[in-house]
Amino acid sequence: MAALCVMIPLVSCSLNQGRTVLDAVRAPASGAWPDWRDCRSTYGDPTEMVDGKARANPDWEKANLVMVRLPWRAHAAWDHSLTIRSLQVHRLAAPSLQRALAAVWLRAGQSQAEIDRLGLSLIGGGYNWRPVRNGAQLSAHAYGCAVDFDPDRNALGDARPNFAAPENRYVIDAFRREGWLWGGNWPTPDGMHFQATQVTDGVTAF
């Protein structure tokens, strides 16, 4: 069994049996992404203990987090007055994220109107030190290897997320070509969510 991301109980759910081969595609030739439960072996440990309590490790953040500039105009999904120009992610995930975003921008005809239609100008999040929802182990967001877009139309639990529409699936395909997983076809769909990990044994995380 792969080492857990943190030394706390594992809470898991089964992978959708309808998962396609593309969902398990590995990262480019530079190397394969880790299984999400073994994030620490690739991305390092983002946690420090202070007075018996776990919290984000500022030294890890300084050594590993970088900003990937968005090719288009964007703002926070929860506050449209808050402009977002970059996504904060782990330095190892940054090059592939940059390529995925560039591929989407090119496929969208470098049209801000198309990006707005897709919902990619509505940023739900990048790095965020936190556990998975309704669980104890760290989220992929805590390792800086996950990003969220357009939470309202790709909400957690929505079985028909906007990115799944045929005319929008090129967004999913751009991330898959870089080895990133999409959460929209998980047992509890999370269509806003993309992460630079693999799922090798039926476990998913948000």
Domain count, the chain: 1
Query: Where residue 6 falls among pLDDT bands split at 50, 70, 90?
Result: very low
Residue 36: pLDDT over 90: no
Q: Is residue 68 part of a domain?
A: yes
Q: In percent, how much of the chain has pLDDT > 90?
A: 69
Cα distance between residue 59 and residue 45, in whole Å? 10
Tokens linked to 131: 């556990």
Q: What is the mean pLDDT of the chain?
A: 83
Q: Is residue 4 part of a domain?
A: no
Q: Is residue 104 part of a domain?
A: yes
Which domain does 75 fall in, by range?
31-195
Domain at 83, CATH number: 3.30.1380
Of the candidates 204, 154, 145, 150, the one whose C-alpha atom is nearest the C-alpha of residue 175 is 145
- The single residue listed with the structure tokens 């969902």 is 23
Q: Is residue 24 part of a domain?
A: no
Query: Where residue 135 falls among pLDDT bands split at 50, 70, 90?
Result: low
- Which tens digit of pLDDT belongs to each residue from 91-115? 999 999 999 999 999 999 999 999 9
Of the candidates 206, 201, 167, 166, the one whose C-alpha atom is nearest the C-alpha of residue 186 is 206
pTM: 0.81
Average pLDDT over residues 20-38: 50
Of the candidates 1, 23, 42, the one whose C-alpha atom is nearest the C-alpha of residue 177 is 23
Q: Are residues 197 and 33 in contact, defined by beta-carbon separation less than 8 angstroms?
A: yes
Q: Is residue 155 part of a domain?
A: yes
Q: Are residues 28 and 175 in contact, defined by beta-carbon separation less than 8 angstroms?
A: no
Q: Is residue 149 part of a domain?
A: yes
pLDDT higher at 122 or 25: 122
Q: Is residue 49 part of a domain?
A: yes
Average pLDDT over residues 62-90: 97
Average pLDDT over residues 33-61: 90
Q: Is residue 162 part of a domain?
A: yes
